[in-house]
Structure 1
Amino acid sequence: MSSISDILMELRQLTDYVNSMRLVTYFDVVGATIFLYDYLLTLGMEVNLVWSSKWTFMKVLYFAQRYLPFVDSVALCFLNQLSTTIDPTTCKMVDKARGVLMITGISLSELVLTLRVWAVWGRSSRMGLVLSILFFLAVSTSFVVSGFFLSSIQFENKPYPTFQGCFIISASRLVYMNWVILMVYEAAILVLMVIPGISAYRIGGDTALHAVVYRDGVIVYIYLFALSTINVIVSISLPHIYLDILWSVERCLHSMLTSRVLLDIRAYGSKAHVVWADGITELHFGSEMVQTKPTLATRLRWARVWKSEA
């Protein structure tokens, strides 16, 4: 028979575990709440700038990465964390579906941001090849790592009848590799945004568009890089119960920031009376669209046009 001290120890461990799960739930709710609040703030812009536009690949991509969080970060999140009737088998299914959708959503958001980098490099075929390889390696590796991690999660029956959510007993720390991959990829994209940004500011020209494309782009990637770094630290240093504490927050921020990138660029185009095919890969600098990598002579000609327009 267990001694009184053993029973008290088990109760203390269970209490600590439940408190830890509550904290994870709070962060999930925070992520979902921020996403819903930002969605309401930007819904008017979306209706005016996206809904009425013609259907393109970019529009489909925008809607996919914009609305997937309603499934993985809102519906499945609350089901996974707040249900009092969910069983271990259902927990496993929900967790796998949520994990796959989150990685898919983050990948779609990264694709939008990557296409913007391709645009500021003048839609260069070489840069397109480099970005395609980097994106494929990052996404495929993330799906492999996520598959191993999601398979490693073990659930048990809830310890008492009113316990909310899924009772996780173990999980692999391999998930930190996802955040390392994302951190490295975002660092590379950040550098690729800074290089043409510096050149653009030196030449001068449309400072408003430069602010929307370059400055805001750099800020977005600094935010995402910082959050990925924090996720790596959390995954390595804290107990397994905290492994996914920032998943929903980063997932929602990816969608929110990416959506704002496209909306802000389209808002600028609307104010400047410029119509772009997709609003992100065809950017109007000065008097012509960036279709191919501009030569030095072309850049100097743009500079003269910008100065004359000013």
Structure 2
Amino acid sequence: MATESNDVVTQLLQQQLAKHLNVAALSVFLFDYCLTFSSEVHHVWGRKWETTRIVFTISRYLPFIASAMTCYNVLYSHKCGAYIFILDALYDCCIISAEVILILRTYALWGRNRWVLAILAVLAVAFIAAAIGSATTIDFSLPGDSDSPYSFYPSSCAYRTSRSAAFQYIFLMVYEIILQSMNTWRKFRTYRNVQSQTLHTLYWDGIMYMFWVILLSAVNMAVMVTAPLASIASMDTAQVAIHGLLASRIFFNLRDCDERIHHARTESSDMTLVPLHYRSHGSTSQSPAEGSGS
């Protein structure tokens, strides 16, 4: 009897930790939004509502709704119904919109090559289908799950909320690794002889952000596979909020580098960045990185 009571207390403490981590992730997201708000005003406000801005706006602001709903669900809910299905839809839209930002960055660095964009789009659709398929066909659980006093989501409630959903993050990580590999190959194959601080900043800042995006997905997958049931939801808010946060920073990084190429002519070597096809349209400086991948 005492052992059962101790198990219940342990589960409650694990559940409390999951709640704190979700609230912390939301706080980090809100704090970073305040830090980068001036960048959004400078690089986004006042520009035309083209594809890039629409995707950015979705990836920037939809996580506010999804993160708040995720936190509420972790703190007060855990019930099946319309709420969890709407939350899943918003959650997935946030991840996809953030990935589109990463796709557009790769598209920009590859000189707006439509074949590259088409291949990445086909791969994205295939990986999404595979991720959904894996969630419906793979049934994974740990031996102690059935004896746990903590009741998590019913298996039929939502595919994202079981341990089996962790395998979806494999497809997400592989896709992000493909994007980063393409960017690395492009940098060292096409721009290896270009001595430009702007290009250096564009590439290495992107590397840093992509590293954290991939690491976030890896940690979330590890938590869902190995953690006790009460702790599975620990990274739910972080996955959607930090994913959007890093995608926004990659977006601002591209905009800032593009602006420096157009306006900061102190680097004579920037004039050699012809393969990037930077050019102006009308009165607003714009480039492939800005018009398609920024």
Do these two structures clear the TM 0.5 threshold for a shared fold by scoring above it? yes
Question: Is it true that 1:22 corresponds to 2:16 in the alignment?
Answer: yes
Helix, strand or coil at the partner of 1:194: helix
C-alpha distance in structure 1 between counterparts of 2:272 and 2:106, whole Å: 15
RMSD: 2.9
Mark the runs of 5 or more structure 1 residues left unpaired by the alignment: 153-158, 160-165, 275-283, 292-310
Q: Where does 1:101-112 land on structure 2 (aligned, <5 Å)?
A: 101-112=90-101
Query: What is the total number of aligned residue pairs between the two structures?
Result: 257
Mark the runs of 5 or more structure 2 residues left unpaired by the alignment: 142-148, 156-161, 264-270, 279-294
Alpha-carbon distance, 1:36 to partner: 0.3
| Range with bigger deviation, 199-208 or 28-37 | 199-208
Using a 3 Å threshold, how does the CA distance of structure 1 residues 196 and 272 change in structure 2: closer, same or farther? closer
C-alpha distance in structure 1 between counterparts of 2:230 and 2:261, whole Å: 50
Partner of 1:54: 48
Alpha-carbon distance, 1:126 to partner: 2.6
Question: Is it true that 1:237 corresponds to 2:221 in the alignment?
Answer: no
* 8 Å CA contact retained: 2:15, 2:230: yes
Using a 3 Å threshold, how does the CA distance of structure 1 residues 47 and 117 change in structure 2: closer, same or farther? same
List per-residue Cα deviations over 1:31-69 (Å, max 9, x = no partner). Answer: 101100000000011112101111111101100010111
Which of 176, 181, 187 in structure 1 is aligned with 2:177? Answer: 187
Helix, strand or coil at the partner of 1:24: helix
* 8 Å CA contact retained: 2:43, 2:252: yes
C-alpha distance in structure 1 between counterparts of 2:21 and 2:50, whole Å: 35
* 8 Å CA contact retained: 1:100, 1:146: no
Using a 3 Å threshold, how does the CA distance of structure 1 residues 241 and 201 change in structure 2: closer, same or farther? same
Give % identity.
Answer: 24
* 8 Å CA contact retained: 1:66, 1:256: yes
Alpha-carbon distance, 1:215 to partner: 1.6
Q: Which has the higher contact order (CA 8 A, sep 6+)?
A: 2
Alpha-carbon distance, 1:236 to partner: 1.9
Partner of 1:298: none
Letter of the structure 2 residue corresponding to residue 64 of structure 1: I
| Range with bigger deviation, 110-119 or 219-228 | 219-228
Partner of 2:73: 80
Question: Is it true that 1:168 corresponds to 2:152 in the alignment?
Answer: yes
Q: Which of the two has higher C-alpha Rg?
A: 1
Helix, strand or coil at the partner of 1:72: helix
Using a 3 Å threshold, how does the CA distance of structure 1 residues 176 and 59 change in structure 2: closer, same or farther? same
TM-score, normalization by structure 1: 0.73
TM-score, normalization by structure 2: 0.77
